Chain A
Amino acid sequence: MTAMTAPMGKFGQSVKRVEDSRLITGNGRYVDDLVLPGQTHAAFVRSAYAHARIGAIDVSAAAAMPGVVKILTGQDLVDGGLFALPSGWGLTSIDGTPARVGVHHALAVDTVRFVGEPVALVIAETRGQARDAADSVFVEYEELPAVVDMVAALGPDAPQLHPDIPENRAFTWDIGNAEEADAAFARATRRVSIELRNNRLVPNAMEPRAINAEWRAYDGSMTIHLTHQNPIGMRVLFMMLLGLESENHLRVVSPDVGGGFGSKAPAYAEELAVAFAARAVGRPVKWTAERTESFLTDAHGRDHVTRAELAMDDHGRFLGLKVHTLANLGGYISTSNALVVSYMYATMLCGQYAIPAVHAVVEGVYTNTCPVDAYRGAGRPEAAYVIERLAHLAAREIGVDQAEIRRRNFVRAFPHQTPLVYCYDSGDYEGCLDAALRLADYQGFEQRRAEARARGKLRGIGLSAYVEACGIGPSKLLASLGGGGNMWESCEIRVQPAGSVEVLTGAHNHGQGHQTVYAQIISERFGIPMDRITVVQGDTDRIQAGTGTYGSRASVGLSAAVKSCEKIIEKGRQIVGYMLGIDPGAVDFADGIYTSAATNQTVAFTEMVHAAHAATQFPTDQLEPGLVATSFFDPPNFTYPAGVHVCEVEIDPETGVTEVVAFNAADDFGNVANPLIVEGQVHGGLTQGIAQALWENAVYDPDSAQLMTASYMDYGMPRADSLPEFGLAFWPSPTPVNPLGMKGCGEAGAIGSPPAVINAVCDALGIAHVDMPASPEKIWRLCQERQEAL
């Protein structure tokens, strides 16, 4: 393509993403692009009611419409042996009973529990015919009272969603030590408390959910093309739910995936129903969600109501923490949500602080809303919001600076065992704080505040010191907390005869730049140009092992790649030993060249590769030909990225509009493989976090449980022009947990920024709290109250 020498990769360099030219020139290949021979299309009939008994379903008119191939109802799926969707995490309540999981059929049977829940499925020759026919399916509903509010749902008069689950309570789970926390509070001389809501969010991946499923009757096997973050995990799950004979009877292919943020990690009702339908009609069935369907049914994020209290001494040293959270599960427990609201959330409630005594209770509550699951940060943003709001209030209570209160309480020695299961790996919290304060010109803030006041604006500054858990995860630890283990990642490296390299990983790129970073790291290790390296992902026929991408797991996958590189290099050493007739132990390897210090001979990596495949220069009974290495990496611990975010806002008291005028972040992601990509990840995360704090909010009508924010007309998405230039700095404390010292950066922006923004808003207005999103209306009212108070 070009006469120029292709670039060599190097860890730590800002290499431009090699996948982008393909994607931005329209050459991405997504599930919806795929048209299979004999293709049919699916459309769902969805409930307009949030809670209703399903009566008769009349499909006669629809069935007679042009192009209709088949219409399926929930009962058809049950009769066909399809299993209900499982909760993927076993959580145990305080009283020792397992979480109560409401039965979640792929198509509702008897009862619908949220608006948009699929009730029937129409398969037709064209997408238009399927939609038209779906419009003509007549479903009788007997409307039932619906409940949105969690406190109401737990009350005695609330409608009960699931027949065997009283009070709509799935579980009451706790972590930490209640007695120790009580004792700490008894000792404490100062305390602050807060009641807050972590607003519900719609994930809004650019590419909507999509599936194209094909059934092969001749051998009872199926291929599912699925936009997903974890195709290998879905193979096992769908195999079981569909009742297929073995893993080998199901191939899952996830091609390019246009964003996920966690929302493409669950197993969904629609996808399961479509897979079932493909078998039922014996032809490929495709479904791509329309945007309204995405709003209604992509697993939502967050939605907590929390009461929290922090005990301190007179100097503001944190002694104890008590947290009580109601977590809105929606109508059903989505695949990972029991994990997200428990061990992904409450374990992180100490934040960066050495708090000796903590007790947290989480109640999981069913409501007539879309199921909730992981969304960018998945539990950690909710935890950071609680502790960082409390830290802000603590500074007010003690009468010290926002930075100082944090400084007094930081964890300073690592590894640090928290009272909440996790053990922080490494960090320099105070150094990171100072880096952030320098970046933000913290010292100069009061001058900026005064200058803003002269312009009639209320300027505020807010800090947030977050820590989170990434790089899922140690299989044994996760299994002990209620998971199935199986959280390692694999990487196979195939070096081909002409010297190009295929990298097979079970991690799945959906915007993270894996092609670039894997190539960068392997290029550097082998000393070959990056363009010789191709990453293969997302096809279970090619990659058999792995667990997908979420929770910044790239460090786990890359660590497996590093192990495979080492195996290849080591085998090369043996081959070169034979080639040169010397002891392999005397062969050095650097910059793509094997050398013998003793004889001054050299063999290039590519020469070694030719020799490995030719198999003529070594005894094949002692050394196998070929050059393939497979490795699995199971990290000994999570990694704990941390950072300090500093937000400055200006509020116009006349309009209530809050403008983020400056945002600076110093982050410890451990070693950074590619600063350009990491900055991009942070920009995206900050944008989503700032948007949660100021604009985004999924609103259900409290009486009817209709989703009122089901389009971009009503749901406040962030825009480029509503954000400032971000100031970023890295303050790395490399982790000992993996060979690359990487911690992960995908979620950090969305974790640290919401409390920084709200703390800044509270600072500007001199108030204790305002719930997210801090909309102009809320802020304007607060400004009016403030005016009256003056």
Chain B
Amino acid sequence: MEITGSYLLPCSPQTAWQALNDTEVLKSCLKGCEALERTAENEFTGKVAAKIGPVSARFAGTMRQTELDPPRSCRMQFEGQGGVAGFAKGGALVTLTPQDGGTELTYVADTQIGGKLAQMGARLVEGTAKSMADDFFGKFAAAVAAMEPEAGPVAAPAQGVPSHEQTSGTPAWLVPAVLIVIAAMAAVAVFFH
């Protein structure tokens, strides 16, 4: 499935780029994130523990960045294993464009999910991922606003609310596998209860 979305961030593309490559920032914005490490210059691994309804699981994912063009765009390949929950993998193209004194972040992610995620949550993934993406970007917007060298008006999380042209979004480009896995699990939980 193809997932697309865009968010307006209250910072310059340069700051956004830095934040996107700062594992500490990412970790603090991602609920349940236990570890996020850079394993090579352009490779990351992450672990997220999630308890959604009765389902608790630990997801491990890896992400590799390619075609880096700082601070404008990069492509990513990701793969996440949710154990019995299944797997998610795919690629995403992320672009940062200056806009209205901030930065518009756009991504197009092509994702494949398998196992229970696909069986139970496939068509709920996008919708559920959206709320998780909103939660992430709310925190991320606040974080990048604080990072901005010449701090303008402090961005309220509300400013990080996605400018949804598309129906939904997920920060699939970030630690995307992990997020999609969680989102799908949330969908499964919603389905069962």
Contact = CB atoms under 8 A, between A and B. Distances in A.
A710 B120 contact: yes
A708 B118 contact: yes
Interface of A: 46, 48-50, 115, 134-136, 138, 292, 295-296, 701, 703-704, 706-708, 710-711, 713-714
Contacts of A710: 118-120
B114 A704 contact: yes
Contact of A706 (B84, B118, B123): B118
Contacts of B32: none
Most buried by B among A136, A296, A713: A713
B110 to A, nearest CB: 10
Given A711-B119, A711-B191, A714-B123, 10 more contacts: A48-B116, A49-B115, A115-B114, A135-B84, A296-B119, A706-B119, A707-B118, A708-B118, A708-B122, A713-B120
A116 to B, nearest CB: 8
B163 interface: no
A8 B178 CA distance: 68
Contacts of B53: none
B115 A48 contact: yes
Given A135-B83, A703-B112, A713 B191 contact: yes
A49 B116 contact: no
A706 B114 contact: yes
Nearest to A292: B119
A139 to B, nearest CB: 10
A563 B122 CA distance: 56
Contact of B114 (A48, A135, A714): A48
Contacts of B191: 711, 713
B187 to A, nearest CB: 9
B132 interface: no
Most buried by A among B113, B114, B120, B124: B114
A295 B118 contact: no
Nearest to B83: A135
Most buried by A among B119, B123, B191: B119
B127 interface: no
28 contacts: A46-B115, A48-B87, A48-B115, A48-B116, A49-B114, A49-B115, A50-B114, A134-B84, A138-B83, A292-B119, A292-B120, A295-B119, A296-B119, A701-B112, A704-B114, A706-B113, A706-B118, A707-B118, A708-B118, A708-B119, A708-B122, A710-B118, A710-B119, A710-B120, A711-B191, A713-B191, A714-B122, A714-B123
Nearest to A711: B120
A38 to B, nearest CB: 27
A135 B115 CA distance: 12
Contacts of A708: 118-119, 122-123
A704 B119 contact: no
Most buried by A among B87, B113, B118, B120: B118
B86 interface: yes
Interface string B98-130: 000000000000001111101110111000000
A46 B114 CA distance: 12
Contact of A701 (B84, B86, B118): B118
B119 A707 contact: yes
Contacts of A296: 119
Most buried by B among A46, A136, A295, A710: A710
A774 to B, nearest CB: 20
A48 B87 CA distance: 7
Closest 8 CB pairs of A and B: A48-B115, A710-B119, A706-B118, A135-B84, A48-B86, A48-B114, A704-B112, A708-B122
Contacts of A292: 116, 119-120
Nearest to B86: A48
A46 B118 CA distance: 14
A706 B114 CA distance: 6
Contacts of B123: 708, 713-714
Nearest to A712: B191
Most buried by B among A50, A134, A295, A706: A706
A296 B119 CA distance: 9
Interface in B104-163: 112-116, 118-120, 122-124
Interface residues of B, number: 16
A201 B118 CA distance: 18
A704 B84 contact: no
Nearest to A703: B112
A374 to B, nearest CB: 24
B126 to A, nearest CB: 13
A292 B86 CA distance: 13
Contacts of B122: 706, 708, 714
Nearest to B120: A711
A695 to B, nearest CB: 16
B81 to A, nearest CB: 9
A653 to B, nearest CB: 25
Nearest to A48: B115
A488 B83 CA distance: 49
Contacts of A138: 83
Contacts of B87: 48
A134 B112 CA distance: 24
A135 B113 CA distance: 18
A396 B112 CA distance: 44
A115 B112 CA distance: 14
Nearest to B114: A48
A191 to B, nearest CB: 42
Contacts of A46: 115
Contacts of A49: 114-115
A542 to B, nearest CB: 40
A49 B112 CA distance: 11
Contacts of B118: 115, 701, 704, 706-708, 710
Interface string B44-66: 00000000000000000000000
Nearest to A710: B119
Contacts of A115: 114-115, 118-119
Contacts of B113: 704, 706
Nearest to B82: A48
Contacts of A704: 112-114, 118
A108 to B, nearest CB: 15
A749 to B, nearest CB: 29
A645 to B, nearest CB: 33
Contacts of A713: 120, 123-124, 191
Contacts of A295: 119
Nearest to B1: A701
Contacts of A711: 119-120, 191
B103 to A, nearest CB: 33
A491 to B, nearest CB: 43
A708 B120 CA distance: 8
B97 to A, nearest CB: 30
A606 to B, nearest CB: 57
A710 B188 CA distance: 12
Contacts of B83: 135-136, 138
A296 B83 CA distance: 18
B124 to A, nearest CB: 8
A136 B118 CA distance: 20
Nearest to A296: B119
A136 B58 CA distance: 11
Interface string B179-193: 000000000000100
Contacts of B120: 292, 710-711, 713
A134 B84 CA distance: 8
B29 to A, nearest CB: 29
A136 B84 CA distance: 8
A115 B115 CA distance: 7
Contacts of B86: 48
Contacts of B84: 134-135
Contacts of A50: 114
A708 B115 CA distance: 10
Contacts of B114: 48-50, 115, 704, 706
Contacts of B119: 115, 292, 295-296, 706-708, 710-711
A76 to B, nearest CB: 21
Interface string B9-41: 000000000000000000000000000000000
